[in-house]
Chain A
């Protein structure tokens, strides 16, 4: 079946502009996660959604970052007033439920802030 999809695959933007990154989880998965992977680094947790519960935003690095999940499916990660240090690969994952369920990752969006 279809896996996690993300768009765009690549995004180049100028410092100070806003960007929106989209994630389509696997159908039926109630949990959705965003991670960030900087060049040559491990993955850093940003935020996750579980059903209708309040999202866990504890990993968001600043108030310029926000995310929404509409209708319990598609999610959008928004970065306002982008900075060069925001350049990274943004990865989305989904799982059947929160907890010890396998997280399946999308291919990521490669963001470059000039």
Chain B
């Protein structure tokens, strides 16, 4: 069935460093790949997304890359700040419903 693998499960970086989270997906028909940030006690919030006709997208300190051949996509956060600390989820979709990865807990140390 459809599956999304996300790594690492936890990531600790020093403030100002970069953070990279990687996901792979199994359904070759997937064409939409959002990333969500979830803070404790809150619902997930979209931070960036990419569609299959684009290889890379950037929004200030956040960027996402997509390799459809390898069925792999990544989130890059540069110049991390303590407020970036949260759980990050990748997801893939081909039919509208989102298939989520297991999440990455990012800790940014001041």
Spell out A's residues near B (CB within 8 Å).
4, 31, 33, 35, 41-45, 48, 50, 56, 58-59, 91, 95, 98-100, 102-108
Indicate whether B89 reaches chain A with its CB closer than 8 angstroms. Answer: yes
Distance in angstroms between the alpha carbons of A35 and B38 in the assembled complex: 14
Known contacts A100-B51, A105-B43, A105-B45: A43-B98 contact under CB 8 Å: yes
**Does A100 contact B44, Cβ atoms closer than 8 Å?**
no
Distance in angstroms between the alpha carbons of A56 and B2 in the assembled complex: 15
Closest residue to A108 on the B side, CB-wise? B43
**Does A106 contact B34, Cβ atoms closer than 8 Å?**
no
**Does B46 contact A103, Cβ atoms closer than 8 Å?**
yes
**Does B89 contact A42, Cβ atoms closer than 8 Å?**
yes
- Which of B6, B43, B99 contacts A91 (CB under 8 A)? B43
Distance in angstroms between the alpha carbons of A56 and B96 in the assembled complex: 10
Closest residue to A3 on the B side, CB-wise? B43
A to B CB contacts below 8 Å, 15 in the list: A4-B43, A31-B96, A33-B98, A42-B100, A43-B89, A56-B97, A58-B97, A95-B96, A98-B96, A100-B31, A102-B46, A105-B43, A105-B45, A107-B42, A108-B43
Distance in angstroms between the alpha carbons of A102 and B41 in the assembled complex: 21
Known contacts A43-B44, A106-B43: A50-B96 contact under CB 8 Å: yes
